[in-house]
Amino acid sequence: MTDRRGNEPPRKRGATPGRENPPRKAQPRRPSTTDSARTTPPRPESTRDRLLRKAREEEQAAARRPVKKAAANPRPVKKAAAKRPAPGGAAPRKQVPANGAARKTAKRPVKKTSGKKRPPQNRPQPRPRKPRVRKAPRMLRLGRPTVRLRVTFGVMAFVLSLFAGRLVLLQGVDPDSYAQAATRENTKPFILHATRGAITDRNGVELAVSEDAVAITADPTQTKPVAQQLASIIAPKVTGTTYGKLVAAMTGKGRFTYLAHQVPPTTWSAIQAEIKTANATIAQQNKGKSQDQAAPLLAGLYTEDDPIRSHPNGSIAATVVGVTGADGKGLSGLEYGLNDKLSGHDGRAMYEVDTKGNKIPNANHTVEEPKPGVGVQLTLDTDLQFFAEKRIEQAVKQYKASSGTVIVEDVKSGELLAMANYPTFDPNKPYKPSDLNNPALERTYEPGSVQKVATMAALADAGLIDLNTKLRVPGSIEVQRRKIKDHWDHGPMNLTIAGVVAKSSNVGTIMAAQQMRIPQFVKYLHDFGFGQPTGLNFPGESNGKLMEGDEWPEITRSNVAFGQGLSVNAVQMAAAVNTVANGGVYVPPKLVRNYVDANGTVIPNQTAAPHRVVSEKAAKEVATMMEAVTAKKGTAPQAAIDGYLVAGKTGTAQEVDSACSCYRKWATSFAGFAPADNPRFVTYVVLHDPSDGVRGGGLQGGPVFRDVMSYALQKYVVPPTGAKQPDVPITW
């Protein structure tokens, strides 16, 4: 067998005699790695697909039919003329039968060359051409009814489960709360106001009490058609509101609104009478008219208990007692400071109501009774308070002062019998916010020479001075390059320590005070109550001002010794003088005497314990020095009281004017006690910025002290002791 070489043309397949090339079988398609993962459900077979499938089955059946063998070595019958291609040309492809099946051809005879047989060529069979299958057109896929039904039933089951769960929650888990909510829809709360406790003086005289009054309310759903008529009736009779506000409230939203608070019963009766008259007129006009044309009656107004605070004694102790607001709560004074005790606790009532908000008779209701407030009994004496207020008013007007204060204190108990201020106000009438202050506790000032009482008591207690102390007092003294002088011009004077007090010498006081160490002096001042609260717990009370620490410069100690460089309120200064009158024992001042509950039980008010500041001997020596002040040769003979031995001290101090932040105002004062040999009362008078007359504590404050102290001694029947004015030398 020889191989083809050169340009020998290839032999035509199946044309060689004696040889046949069997047709290649169709190779099965190799399985893809993704075939096993395909889970798409089979698509319904269309008509076109069915016809194509039958055609393929017929072709496969034809291919499987057996082919008849030809005779030995005959030349195979050519199905079609097949010419051998020219050398170098390409062999034409064999025609494939229409049915796509390859038929076996006879074997081509092998030419004998060189006596050897040519082995048959082992060429791969050509792949049959696959018919091109046209894809079927895309068609709209219809929904599956089974899926739709399942989804619908699932949604319905979920919704029904929600309703079932809610039903279980309402009926089984928490039925009470929903029942209460339903009850609230058909009930209406009513506030039962507690009766506010009364404020009385030490003898039970009423200074502030609660009287019956009402709050006018409205249901806008009923008052809206007749709001203008109702407003025209209410506005002229009720203060604190206007016609426009009333109309707006009665035409608003909701079922409830307040129109006015604390309306006296007489005023409400007048309003009701006018509404009744107006409704009678409307009813007469509506006769013969249809319901659509009839005018509506005036309705929709209601009332609630809303007690009003009254002050039977008008302006007496008004700055001390204070006032309440429209809501019944305290705004100033003791009404504000003791509001929790006075106000009590409001009650509450729940009534079933109809669709219009009216109470249903004999229906279920619950009532929580209110708890009345606690009454307060003060230490003040109304009679003495009234007299002190009138006397300080007279002095303020006489000397054209800006204001004035009088304090009367019981020496042994520290009870304040009077705390009078002018200007004052009447709580039963309109007032300004500036009227609500209590200057006796809220206003501070430099006390002036009245402070020398505490300075001399401290020096006497320390053993640095006594009644035999003599000083050579010059006209002025220099302290840390600052010159300090007395209020009158003089040359060197020989004064006893009593003379220093009687003449109110600043220079002599500084000379005596320089003997005491500053820390010791500061401690005495704190023991006298300076720079500390009085313990009254009065709202707005000022503690005064005292330089912190005890390492003061020398100039500060010198100024404080004669009453400059520190500030006090009137009650603080009165309590310091009362310490000397009480034998050297400081008694905290007291304003509230007792508390009285709703059952009448009296509960005493507890205060801080008294404490000793100076010895009884030192207090007695200072009282003797003060007796010389009211003597004929003293600075305040105007303060003397016939038949009584009086000890006192004048004060004249500069005040800072806020307009210039400079000293150009004055405060004149007088403090004293009587009887001096057995003190019963301490009275302190201060006038702020007097601008008329001769300025001085003895001239301006002395007469007020004399009149108020005389009234107190007579009212409480304090007999004269018969002691005579001691002959205490003031010079040597």
Per-residue confidence at 86, pLDDT binned at 50, 70, 90? very low
Structure tokens belonging to residue 8:
């020998």
Across the range 483-507, mean pLDDT stands at: 91
The Cα 420–Cα 679 span in angstroms is 21
Q: Report whether pLDDT(124) > 80.
A: no
Question: Is residue 593 within 8 Å of residue 378, measured between CB atoms?
Answer: yes
Collect all residues with Cβ–Cβ distance below 8 Å to 488 and sequence separation of at least 6: none
The closest alpha carbon to 571, from 391, 700, 442, belongs to: 442
Is 430 a residue whose pLDDT tops 80? Answer: yes
> Under 8 Å CB-to-CB from 516, ≥6 apart: which residues?
458, 459, 462, 464
- Kindly state the average pLDDT of the residues 430-442: 93
Please compute the mean of the pLDDT values over residues 584-597 and round it to a whole number. 96
The whole-angstrom separation of Cα 652 and Cα 666 is 7
pLDDT band for 96, please (50, 70, 90 cuts).
very low
> What number is the average pLDDT over the span 236-244?
90
At residue 201 the predicted structure's pLDDT band, cuts being 50, 70 and 90, is: very high
pTM for the complete prediction?
0.72
Report whether pLDDT(141) > 90.
Answer: no
Query: Which pLDDT value is given to residue 139?
Result: 66
At residue 60, the pLDDT reads: 85
Q: Pick the range with the lowest mean pLDDT from 107-116, 150-159, 278-287, 596-605.
A: 107-116
User: What pLDDT, in 10s, does the model give residues 663-695?
Assistant: 778 899 999 999 999 999 999 999 999 988 778
pLDDT of residue 10: 53
* 262 has a pLDDT exceeding 50: yes
**Section 119-148 average pLDDT:** 70
Taking 90 as the threshold, does the pLDDT of residue 57 lie above it? Answer: no
Q: Strand 375-378 relative to strand 199-200: parallel, antiparallel, unpaired?
A: parallel
Lookup: tokens for 448: 């002036």
pLDDT class for 474, splitting at 50, 70, 90?
very high
Query: What percent of the chain is helix, strand and coil (3-state, nearest 5)?
Result: 30, 20, 50
Cβ–Cβ under 8 Å, residues 328 and 343:
yes
User: How many distinct helices (H) and strands (E) make up the chain?
Assistant: 20, 23
| 58 to 61, 65, 97, 136: CA distances (angstroms) | 5, 11, 13, 21
What pLDDT is attached to residue 409? 98
Confidence at residue 460, expressed as pLDDT on a 0 to 100 scale:
96
Q: Average pLDDT for residues 422-428, to the nearest whole number?
A: 94
> What is the average pLDDT value for the chain, to the nearest integer?
84
Q: How far is CA 87 from CA 7, 14, 81, 90, 122, in A?
A: 7, 18, 18, 9, 23
At a CB cut-off of 8 Å and minimum separation 6, what does 677 contact? 645, 721, 723
- Contact by Cβ (8 Å): 220, 226: no
Between 213 and 15, residue with greater pLDDT? 213
The token pair that represents 310 in the structure block: 């009254």
- Mean pLDDT (whole number) for 256-277: 92
Q: How many residues are there in the chain?
A: 732
Consecutive H or E run containing 218 = strand 214-218
pLDDT, average across residues 631-641: 88
- As a whole number of angstroms, the distance between CA 58 and CA 181 comes to 84
- Residue 189 has a pLDDT of 73
The whole-number pLDDT of residue 493 equals: 92
Extract the tokens encoding 134: 């046209």
Residue carrying the six token digits 């806008």: 220
Half-sphere exposure of 709 (CA within 13 A, CB side): 34
What percent of the chain is modeled with pLDDT above 70? 81
Whole-number pLDDT of residue 361: 63
Q: Which sign, positive or negative, has the C-alpha torsion 353, 355, 361, 363?
A: negative
**Highest mean pLDDT: which range of 255-269, 344-358, 453-467:** 453-467
Mean pLDDT of the region 307-312: 90
Sheet (strand 647-657) strand order: 416-422, 403-410, 681-688, 662-674, 647-657
Burial of 118 (0-12, 13-18, 19+ CB in 10 A): middle
CA distances from 57 to 44, 64, 207 (A): 19, 11, 123
User: What is the rounded CA–CA span in Å between residue 608 and residue 423?
Assistant: 31
Strands 416-422 and 403-410: antiparallel
* CATH 3.40.50.1970 applies to domain 384-716: no
Residue-level pLDDT at 494: 93
What pLDDT sits at residue 9?
Answer: 53
Radius of gyration from C-alpha coordinates of the chain = 59
Average pLDDT over residues 274-292: 90
Is 659's pLDDT higher than 90? Answer: no
DSSP labels for 258-289? EEEEEE-HHHHHHHHHHHHHHHHHHHHHTTT-
Instruction: Give the mean pLDDT of 586-615.
Output: 95
Give me the mean pLDDT over the 433-440 stretch.
93
Percent above pLDDT 90 for the chain: 54
Give the pLDDT score at 396.
96
Question: What pLDDT digit, counting tens, does each position of 365-374 carry?
Answer: 677 888 999 9
With 0-12 / 13-18 / 19 or more C-beta atoms within 10 angstroms meaning exposed / middle / buried, residue 691 is exposed
Residue 417's Cβ-count burial label (10 Å; 0-12, 13-18, 19+) is: buried
Which phi and psi (to 5°) does residue 305 adopt?
-65, 130
pLDDT for the residue numbered 91: 46
3-state secondary structure 142-191: CCCHHHHHHHHHHHHHHHHHHHHHHHHHHHHHCHHHHHHHHHHHCEEEEE
Cβ 327 vs Cβ 256: under 8 Å: no
Question: Stretch 418-429: mean pLDDT, rounded?
Answer: 95
Is 80 exceeded by the pLDDT of residue 489? yes
Residue 569 burial by Cβ neighbours in a 10 Å radius (0-12, 13-18, 19+)? buried
CATH classification number, 212-245+253-281+296-310, choose in 3.30.70, 3.30.420, 3.30.1450, 3.30.460: 3.30.70
Q: Provide the pLDDT for residue 19.
A: 47
Which pLDDT belongs to residue 293? 86
For the segment 436-465, the average pLDDT, to the nearest whole number, is 95
The residue to which tokens 């016939």 are assigned: 642
Q: Is the pLDDT of residue 727 over 90?
A: no
54 pLDDT tier (thresholds 50, 70, 90): confident
Measured on CA atoms in the order 102, 105, 107, 109, is the torsion positive or negative? negative
Residues with Cβ within 8 Å of residue 308, at least 6 apart in sequence: 210, 211, 212, 213, 262, 264
Residue that the structure tokens 């009447």 belong to: 426
At residue 731, the 3 state secondary structure works out as: strand
- Contact between residue 446 and residue 563 where contact means Cβ atoms under 8 Å apart: yes
Q: Are 622 and 465 in contact (CB under 8 A)?
A: no
Specify burial of residue 435 (Cβ count, 10 A radius: 0-12, 13-18, 19+): middle
| Sequence spans of domains, the chain | 212-245+253-281+296-310, 384-716
State the pLDDT confidence band at 69, using cuts at 50, 70 and 90: low
CA 136/CA 528 separation, integer angstroms: 116
Q: What is the mean pLDDT of residues 73-89?
A: 46
Q: In 26-60, which positions are buried (b, 16+ CB within 10 angstroms) versus exposed (e)? A: beeeeeeeeeeeeeeeeeeeeeeeeeeeeeeeebe
Averaged over 447-469, what is the pLDDT?
95
Give the orientation angle of helix 518-527 with respect to helix 554-561, to 10 degrees: 40
Of 94, 118, 115, 98, the residue nearest 21 (C-alpha)? 94
Return the pLDDT at 100: 43
Of 563, 573, 582, give the one whose Cα is nearest residue 534. 573
For residues 594 and 150, the model is more confident at 594
Nearest residue to 610 (alpha-carbon basis) of 591, 573, 584, 592: 584
pLDDT of residue 140: 59
Determine the average pLDDT of the residues in 186-195: 76
pLDDT of residue 77: 46
> Token digits for 127?
């792949």
CA-wise closest residue to 636 among 679, 589, 683: 683
**pLDDT tens track for 360-419:** 666 666 778 889 999 999 999 999 999 999 999 999 999 999 999 999 999 999 999 999
pLDDT at 390: 97
∠392-398-399 over CA atoms, to 5°? 95
Q: How confident is the model at residue 66 (pLDDT cuts 50, 70, 90)?
A: low
pLDDT of residue 120: 60
